[in-house]
Structure 1
Amino acid sequence: MRKFSVFLLLANIFVVFYLHGRPDDNLPAQIALIHSEKIELLPAKVACLKWENLIGPVVQHVRVEISKWESGQDHITEISRGEVTVHWVHIPPLRNARETAKQIEQLKKSGISYLHIQENADSPWHNAISLAILPDDSDVAALVEELKGKGVERIMDSEQVLEQFEFDIRNPTEQITESVRQLAQQFPETKLEVTECSRL
């Protein structure tokens, strides 16, 4: 019985090696199906929207707006560009929601661009009203004077070290392009350009 078991084991091993070692009859047919002349290499670069100079509270607002899009988030890559020192011209948080709403209404009537920042109460920007983020203090005095001339009070200019970001939007559809352009118009201190970027 033992000899018979050894014989069966050896027979099984022989069959496995025989079947494994046989040339694949379908291999020439499979090779024939590959048409090398029809293979197209994808380009390394693709059309891209590059949105630069997004800083501090602006970035958070942009993230919230992008999260509301029905599609297109997978086209966007957010890249940190390190810290930068800027001058933030803003109206600090007012005493209550009513005063904040009144201030925003005044800004709208005067045609002044602003960003009302509502985050959590632990954020230093919670309920502040951002008026501008400037790279240096050369334009701050003139801007503050202009805003005061339009009746805006309690303006603060504070030097801030903030992280700067860039958004790369690969192969944007017309809808995504329009959405990004509308967002970028709210932040004149940022820079949006059409360029090329890596496909992946």
Structure 2
Amino acid sequence: MRTLFFLLLFVNLAFATYIQLEPAGGSAAPPAWELQPEKIKLLQALPASATCLEWGTFVEADLERLAAAIAAHELDDKVTRQELGTAPVYWVHIPPLRSKRHAERKMGELKRLGITHYTRVDDTSKWNNAISMGFFENIEDAQAFLAALRKKGVRSAIIGARNLKQVKYVARSPEENMSAKMMRLKEEFPGSELKTAKCANT
């Protein structure tokens, strides 16, 4: 009887201890490792900061040539043009010639000198039939470009200051082949800059 008494006492104590330790609601808290998948899903749901490629800066006078170059590299639907407002720029150009025919003759001379980056101004402004060779944000870059033209034999080009609307082109989360195409575009436009930046919220 004495042994049975102590055995029943032990069982009662064990049961009482279990009741006190069991949390309210009848279920124990899950171990910490079971929560990890939920945390991972939450992190995956948060928006990641996208990286953009920004190519610029250009002025309104370049828009036609830029559009043609972008189309040639099949990037029409992959880059977005953003307006940057008006700012002073330094323009390397050959002053307006007497007619379209004279301007085309001058462009032929430039081509024979190995120069390919130029456009004829074709509008109703006082710059009609000028030959544009590049726009630069600071005078040092414009002077360096002009010096390079002088070495190739171009004597009639000058630097002028103008206030023009500026734009840049943005590619959101570009793939590797797209980045390569934009690098080739940059090479076609001396003085332009290609850089990565955090995409602005749209």
Q: How many residues align?
A: 164
Deviations 1:122-153 (A, max 9, x none): 35655432223233445656655654454324
Match of 1:90 in 2: 93
Aligned position for 1:103:
106
What's 1:7 paired with?
A: none
Sequence identity (%): 29
Provide Cα deviations, 1:24-81, integer angstroms capped at 9, x if missing partner.
xxxxxxxxxxxx88684263422321113212322332133334565x4343222222
Please report how far the alpha carbon of residue 191 of structure 1 lies from its aligned counterpart in structure 2 after TM superposition.
Answer: 0.9
Report whether the alignment pairs 1:64 with 2:64: no
Distance 2:189 2:112 in 1: 19
Aligned to 1:55: 59
Q: Matched residues in 2 for 1:68 and 1:143: separation?
A: 25
Matched, 1:115 2:118: yes
CA positional deviation for 1:183: 1.8
How big is the shift at 1:109? 3.2
The structural deviation recorded for 1:162 is 0.8
TM value normalised by structure 2: 0.61
Q: In the alignment, what sits opposite 1:18?
A: none
* Aligned residue identity for 1:173: E
Matches of 1:165 and 1:173 in 2, distance apart? 23
SS of aligned partner of 1:176? helix
Distance 1:141 1:76 in 2: 31
Which residues in structure 2 correspond to 1:119-158 (within 5 Å)?
Answer: 119=122, 121-122=123-124, 126-138=128-140, 144=146, 147-148=149-150, 150-158=152-160
Relative distance call for 1:131 and 1:45 in structure 2 (3 A) is same
The gaps in structure 1 that reach 5 residues or longer are 1-35
Q: What SS class does the counterpart of residue 67 from structure 2 fall into?
A: helix
Deviation at 1:166, TM superposition (A): 1.7
Report what 1:176 is aligned to: 178
Corresponding letter in the other structure for 1:50? E
Partner of 2:24: none
- Kindly provide the amino acid, as one letter, of the partner of residue 78 in structure 2: H
- Structure 1 residues 142, 67: CA separation in 2 closer, same or farther (over 3 Å shift)? closer
**What is the deviation of 1:159?**
1.3
> What residue is the counterpart of 1:162 in the other structure?
164
Task: Give the partner amino acid of 2:154.
Answer: V
- Which structure has the larger Rg over C-alpha atoms? 2
Deviates further, 85-94 or 59-68: 59-68
- Partner of residue 45, structure 2: 41
> How many angstroms apart in 1 are the aligned matches of 2:200 and 2:141?
36
CA contact 1:57–1:117 (8 Å) conserved in 2? no
What is the alpha-carbon distance in structure 2 between the residues aligned to residue 65 and residue 197 of structure 1?
23
